């Protein structure tokens, strides 16, 4: 066991080694760049077609884009309030990025979110935003005082609570995705070749489509909740 199981990321181009571990351009980087290229091309296409958009949508393409943008904006304003709708572009693109990377397992790529580096980087943006907006709204002195609330003895607990946010956020997404990837790899290793056509499709439906959509929604939803809490 172990050799035929294939769920870890692989190094495509190796730069150097640290303690025998290769460091370089991995499949995660490759898939992220692929997603970035696809989404950028989509955005450019929409931007070019924007000039031909009419006030009342006539083409199917405009209908799809308007529904997408409206529902994403509705999600952000619903979670953060009408006054914070400036966050809508940021969280919409975050949601679309995580969604596409979670669904990548369907077409045979390894999801980049099944790598702790990706999810931790994403949750680190949330962490920095939480702390930054908390300082900006309360002032630096009040921000520091918040750590000694309600009793100075509780300072370590408050500090740990702040530091646990990005860790739990990133591990939730990573754990769900790696769980799906590992179980799919185990099923593919266990099934003989002639059974690999139909049966894994049901598991793909749950682990990739259902769990992937749900987890991307939850990651963005929790990020928005944390950031809007620090805005108050």
Partner 1 sequence: MDQITGRDLILACSAIGAGLAMIAGLGPGIGQGYAAGKATEAVGRQPEARGDIVSTMLVGQAVSETTGIYSFLIALILLFVKPLV
For residue 14, the cross-strand partners are 24
Tell me, residue by residue from 210 to 229, as one string, x for binding to partner 1 by CB under 8 A and - for no binding.
----xx-xx--xx--x----
Cα 59 from chain centroid (whole Å): 31
Q: Name the burial class of residue 53, with classes exposed (0-12), middle (13-18) and buried (19+) by CB atoms within 10 angstroms of its CB.
A: middle
CB of 168 to partner 1, least distance (A): 5
Angle formed at CA 95 by CA 11 and CA 101, multiple of 5 degrees: 25
CB of 172 to partner 1, least distance (A): 6
CA dihedral angle for residue 214, residue 216, residue 217, residue 219, rounded to 10 degrees: 120
CB of 173 to partner 1, least distance (A): 9
Q: Kind and range of the H or E element at 158? A: helix 155-190
Tell me, residue by residue from 152 to 191, as one string, x for binding to partner 1 by CB under 8 A and - for no binding.
----------------x--xx-xxx-xx--x---------
Q: Which is nearer to partner 1, 175 or 200 (CB)?
A: 175
Q: Residues interacting with partner 1, by CB under 8 A? A: 2, 8, 168, 171-172, 174-176, 178-179, 182, 214-215, 217-218, 221-222, 225
């Amino acid at each position: 066991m172990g050799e035929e199981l294939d769920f870890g990321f692989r190094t495509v181009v190796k730069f150097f080694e640290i303690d025998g571990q290769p460091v370089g351009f991995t499949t995660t980087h490759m898939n992220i760049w692929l997603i970035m290229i696809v989404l950028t091309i989509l955005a450019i296409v929409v931007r070019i077609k924007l000039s031909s958009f009419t006030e009342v949508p006539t083409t199917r393409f405009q209908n799809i884009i308007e529904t997408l943008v409206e529902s994403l904006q509705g999600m952000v304003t619903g979670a953060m309030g009408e006054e914070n709708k400036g966050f809508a572009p940021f969280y919409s693109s975050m949601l679309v990025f995580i969604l596409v990377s979670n669904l990548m397992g369907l077409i045979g790529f390894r999801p980049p979110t099944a790598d702790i580096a990706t999810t931790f980087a994403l949750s680190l943006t949330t962490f920095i935003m939480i702390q930054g907006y908390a300082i900006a709204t309360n002032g630096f002195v009040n921000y520091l005082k918040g750590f000694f609330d309600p009793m100075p003895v509780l300072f370590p607990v408050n500090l740990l609570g702040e530091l646990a946010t990005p860790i739990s956020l990133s591990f939730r997404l990573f754990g769900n995705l790696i769980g799906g990837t590992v179980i799919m790899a185990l099923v593919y290793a266990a099934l003989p070749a002639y059974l690999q056509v139909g049966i894994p499709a049901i598991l793909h439906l749950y682990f990739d489509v259902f769990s992937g959509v749900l987890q991307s929604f939850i990651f963005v939803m929790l990020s928005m909740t944390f950031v809007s809490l620090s805005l108050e």
